[in-house]
Amino acid sequence: MKTSLITGCSERVLRADLFTPFTISSGSHKNLENALFSVKSKDGFTGWGEAAVASHITGETIEGTRKGLAMAASYLEGKDSADYLKLFCALEEILDSRRAALAAVQTALLDLACRRLDISLWRYFGGARPRIKTDITVVIGGEAEARDFTLKMRRRGFKIFKIKVGIDFDGDIRRLEAVNRSAPGCDIYLDANCAYTVAEARKFIAVLEKKGIVPAVFEQPVAKDDFDGLAWLSKKLKMPVCADESAYCVNDVFRLLRAGAVTAVNIKLTKFGFLKAREVWALARAKGVKLMMGEMLETELASGVAAQFAGGLGGFDFIDLDTPFFIKDSGMRGAGFISNDGVYSLDRIKAGIGVVPKL
C-alpha cells in the first residue's frame, strides 16, 4: 500500500480579530473570516492551506468556499498525494469558480508534498531570494490616523508604505502628505482598487507630483474592465501602473500584456492558484513587465506561502504581504521567520510552509 495515499481531509472556519478595520475603496474587513483546509497522507504527514475570502473583491463567500473545499475533500480521498500535479490539474476544473478554495487545496497538497520530501516551499520554487521585505498598508481613514500609524510602523523598521486611496480626493492627498512627512525617504505605493476614472487618476498623480510626492507604483487606478484606461495611464505616468483586479485570470494577463496595457501585474495565489500564478510570472517576466506579490486578508499561513513563491522564483519588484501585521491572534504557530519589521527570512523554513494552526 502506498504511504502517500490521502487518508483524510478536513475544513473549518478560521476567525480572528483585527487591530484596526482593513478599509479600502471597495469595502472593509472588520475581522478575518477565512477557511482552513488540511490533507493527510497514510504515512502521517499533514499539509495545510488557507482560503482567503474577500467578497467585496472577488464575490466569493465563506459558504461557497466551504462547499468548494468539501467538493475537493470528496475528490481527494484515497488519491495518491505524490501525484500532486495531476491533482492540481483536476482541481483547476472542479474549483474553477471557487478560486479561494482552489488556492487553499493546492497549498495543502504542496505543503504535504514538501513536508514528505523535507524541503520548504521556498526551496521547491527555486530558492532565489532568501529574504524579502514587505510594505505596510495605510488603510483608508483620517489624516491623523495615517500619520500616527506611519510613525509607529516606521519606528518598527518598515520602509515602504502602501496607501489605499479612492474615497476622498482631497483627504487622500492630505493623508499622503502626512505619510510622506512621517516617513521621509521611504517608498510610497498607491492602490485605488478601481476607484478612479482615467482623468481622476491623472489629476491625482499631478497634484502629488506638485507636492514632490512620486509613488513607486500605482496599483489598479481604474475599473477592472477598463483596459484602455490602464494602457493610457501606463504610457503617460512616470511610475509603473499595476493591474490587480484587472488581472484575475491568465487570459486577462495575456490580453493586458499583448495590448501593452500595464507595466506591472499583481500576482495573488487566491486569484490564480499555483499553476496559473506561475504561468503569469513567466509571461510577465518574458515581456519585461514588473511583478508585485500580493494577497487578500491572510494569516501567516497563506502569507508564508506567497512569500516563498515570490522569494523562491525571484523576479518580484514589489512585495505586499503585510496583512499578518493587522491580525491580533491568527491561531498559527511556526511563523518565526517573519520579523516585526516585515522581513521574511525564507531560508529559516525547514519543511513545507513552516506554519501550522494551533490545534
In order of their start, the domains of the chain are 6-119 (3.30.390.10), 122-357 (3.20.20.120)
Q: Phi then psi for 289, rounded to 5 degrees?
A: -95, 140
> Which phi and psi angles does 338 have, rounded to 5°?
-105, 120
Distance CA 352, CA 84 (A): 14
Positive or negative, the CA dihedral 191, 54, 226, 288 is: positive
Give the pLDDT score at 60: 86
pLDDT for 24 equals: 76
Alpha-carbon distances, residue 14 vs 52, 335, 356, 359 (angstroms): 10, 17, 13, 12
pLDDT given at position 134: 98
pLDDT number for residue 26: 61
For residue 31, the number of C-alpha atoms closer than 13 Å in the C-beta half-sphere is 8
Task: Give the predicted TM-score (pTM) of the model.
Answer: 0.96
pLDDT the model gives residue 359? 74
Q: Are 134 and 342 in contact (CB under 8 A)?
A: yes
* C-alpha–C-alpha distance, residues 234 and 124, integer Å: 34
> Cα–Cα–Cα angle for 294, 299, 302, nearest 5°?
55
Give residue 1's pLDDT.
54
Positions in the chain whose pLDDT score sits under 70: 1, 25-28
pLDDT of residue 162: 97
- Chain centroid offset of residue 161 CA: 16
Question: For residue 225, what is its C-alpha cell?
Answer: 474592465
